[in-house]
A and B are shown apart, each in its own frame.
Chain A
Amino acid sequence: MILTVDHVTTYQYDQPMRAAVQSLRLFPSRFDGQRAITWEVAVEGGLRGGAFRDGAGDKVEGWSLRGPVSEVTVTVRGQVETIDTAGVLRGHRETVSPFAYLRETAATWIDERVEALATEAVRGAESGLDRAHALARAVAEAIAYVPGATHAHTTAAEALAQGEGVCQDHAQALAAAARAVGMPARYVSGYLYARDDGAPHEAAHAWAEIWVEGIGWIGFDPANECCPDDRYIRLGSGLDAREAAPIKGIAQGLGEERLDVSVALEAVQQ
């Protein structure tokens, strides 16, 4: 499939800020399932800083804006060719040991509920792959997709307790649950192209990857009860949503921030 992406993020401040700095993880990962044909990232009025690829294979680029700043607009436009690898992150170059993804974070804290869910889910599952699928299913069942039920700082444990959430909550809960049974797991951010067949849809999307011994990293999307296929574009990963965030930024000053995001994905007719 060939997908076009048009993603604009705008931060507006009610009074001018002294300066702003951003760290962007907005570049399609390089692996067998996807290939960028064109890709451009720009911050209006900003200065491009250094770029590098981290040990997890993500490209990160820094940007800065001199003050006074009253608006920051991040634009992403490009075209990506995707194929279905059944969720397997094949051909992805990274150096970080999977063991680095067993660590808990504040957002993926393993409480009794997470532990119980995970232990129950993997009971009877024989292979690592079965265990991973079982965990994804359990998380999908435990958290109903209810937009607005949670917020950006809701933890995995809180979302599970509440039983409602969005893709961020599903992904964090799955990462926490997998770690609870000793499987390395991480949070992945990216895009999802929603067909008109009524499938759930959050064009700016998130899912989780679980390390399965003998296979490698495999994506699981509890929100849509599937593994990522050619409708998905992978951007980057981290231990939780904050680490994997496509845009991290800080504006210095006293202004209140208003965020506006628009993401449009389209399939190119072939």
Chain B
Amino acid sequence: MTDYFNEMYDSGQVRAPYARLEDWMRAMPAELRQMKQAEAEALFRRIGITFAVYGEGGDPDRLIPFDMFPRVFTQNEWRRLEKGIKQRARALNAFLLDVYGRGEIVKAGKIPARLVYQNEAFERAVTGFTPPRGIYSHIVGIDLVRTGPEDFFVLEDNCRTPSGVSYMLENREIMMRMFPELFRENRIEPVDGYADALRRTLASVAPAKCDREPTIGILTPGHFNSAYYEHSFLADLMGVELVEGADLFVEGGFVWMRTTEGPRKLDVIYRRIDDAFLDPLCFRPDSMLGIPGLMDAYRSGGVSICSAPGAGVADDKAVYTFVPEMVRFYLGEEPILQNVPTWQCAKADDCKYVLEHLGELVVKEVHGSGGYGMLVGPKSTKEQIELFRLKIEENPENYIAQPTLALSTTPTFVEEGIAPRHVDLRPYCLVGEKIELVPGGLTRVALTEGSLVVNSSQGGGVKDTWVLAE
């Protein structure tokens, strides 16, 4: 039986940041709790924040479960995380600038050339072009887990278009509406500056050819996309355009938006579609979502694309292993946040170890995301483990493995009352003229007892995340 770190109770004592919440929790009768839970659900439903679960069928407008019990960090805990996250975001961007330029880190032998240049996410088409300020990943979502009071690990980096920030904002909004007293009793750092910060970040990377206040647009694949709510929500909050590929065209080296008053030039595109679908002339010729000629406009400096095409080579699970090395190589600093020890099945020794310890490890696909194609050894049946053994033997390059981490728990409202459930954290770091991080992030919670998989696509829920002011 593994001993999990409980963020609220440490050796029977309530930890300081949760002190006031304990009174609140004790004072709340079951009926009131149920009523509040129903109220929260109604609010979420009314504002339309739902999450379509990939590949599971059923109700596409299913609500992502919201747990009312907040997750709390002290100012001190947060400061350390913030420093570590910003450091990592800087290193990841330095890596991207380097591998699309001279490739010094490869030449120095710090990372294998194959991992970078033969990576599916490496876009040869953007070599030779430096995006404004040399920034490739403007919104870096870093997934963190905690295993002890001082022990945080980075599970993965998301350098392309990390989703979920709308939940961070909405969870807070709902909590403030339902429990205003909690926000009087506790001094909680606000998160509502995120939209302004994102707008500032995007505006700060407008192309050099833009000589006025830049026009910004969010490029969405459309309403059938599971994150469409978030795209429209962010466009709304920032007061920018929400556009689809068909709304845009390229002419004279610029990107134009069709409007009722005629074409309007678009300077910065916050794209929420994958590289492959951006421009059928450059990437997938069958893309119906993209804008023909977009990459020519981008590479000749007529428009900025956030995140920059090709940014994905930094968040590949096989490249992840080298992020601490990137911090040392580019910044000359020691990494503040630790990586989870990772075995690369591509290496014969690692692969042998993984196959011998499948029952203890978490195995992931190198290019997978969202908790799909993943094996949690200790929670799997013999059949599931044997199936993975075959998959790994067939294509070892495609898999990495990590120890099953003792993810921390926080109190969570469940049917029987309150019980500890495992959580992770995704803060959203903005990289533009400045590097900014709102105090908070998205806490995901594995609602099933004992489960360590927090992905919303696998039935996880979300919580409001507090950072206490001093």
Contact = CB atoms under 8 A, between A and B. Distances in A.
Contact of B100 (A48, A55, A239): A55
A172 B210 CA distance: 41
B115 to A, nearest CB: 10
B102 interface: yes
B128 A49 contact: no
Contact of A52 (B106, B281, B299): B299
A248 B284 CA distance: 12
A9 interface: no
Given A50-B253, A50-B300, A99-B114, A55 B281 contact: no
Given A50-B297, A250-B281, A102 B118 contact: yes
B129 A52 contact: yes
Contacts of B118: 99-100, 102-103
Interface stretch (B119-127, B163-171, B321-329, B367-375): B119-127
Contacts of B100: 55
Given A19-B249, A49-B296, A96 B114 contact: no
Contact of A100 (B101, B124, B280, B282): B124
A53 interface: yes
B124 A62 contact: no
Interface majority SS on B: helix, strand, loop or mixed?
A: loop
A95 interface: yes
Given A99-B118, A100-B122, A250 B300 contact: no
B44 interface: no
Q: Size class of A's contact patch?
A: 20 to 34
Contacts of B129: 52, 54-55
A60 B299 contact: yes
Contact of A62 (B103, B125, B300): B300
Identify which of A50, A56, A252 gathers the most chain B CB atoms within 10 Å of its CB.
A50
A21 B281 CA distance: 9
Nearest to B291: A21
A97 B253 contact: no
B217 interface: no
Interface in A161-202: none
A56 B118 CA distance: 16
A11 B299 CA distance: 26
Contact of A239 (B124, B282, B295): B124
Contacts of A52: 128-129, 296, 299-301
Nearest to B125: A54
Given A49-B251, A62-B250, A250-B281, A96 B128 contact: yes
Given A50-B299, A64-B251, A21 B128 contact: no
Interface in B265-298: 280-282, 285, 292-293, 295-297
A250 B124 contact: no
Contact of B293 (A23, A99, A102, A103): A23
Contacts of A47: 251-252
Nearest to B282: A23
Interface string B160-191: 00000000000000000000000000000000
Contacts of B65: none
Contacts of B114: 99, 102
Interface string A235-267: 000010010000011101000000000000000
A51 interface: yes
Contact of B113 (A55, A95, A99): A99
Given A23-B282, A96-B124, A248-B281, A49 B300 contact: yes
Given A54-B299, A97-B113, A49 B293 contact: yes
Nearest to B129: A52
A56 B128 contact: yes
A248 to B, nearest CB: 5
A108 B348 CA distance: 28
Contacts of B251: 47, 49, 64, 66
B330 interface: no
Interface string B63-105: 0000000000000000000000000000000000000111100
9 contacts: A21-B292, A22-B293, A23-B295, A48-B253, A49-B297, A49-B302, A55-B128, A97-B113, A97-B117
Shortest beta-carbon contacts, A-B, top 7: A50-B300, A55-B127, A55-B128, A50-B253, A62-B296, A49-B253, A99-B117
Interface of A: 19, 21-23, 47-57, 60-62, 64, 66, 94-97, 99-100, 102-103, 239, 242, 248-250, 252
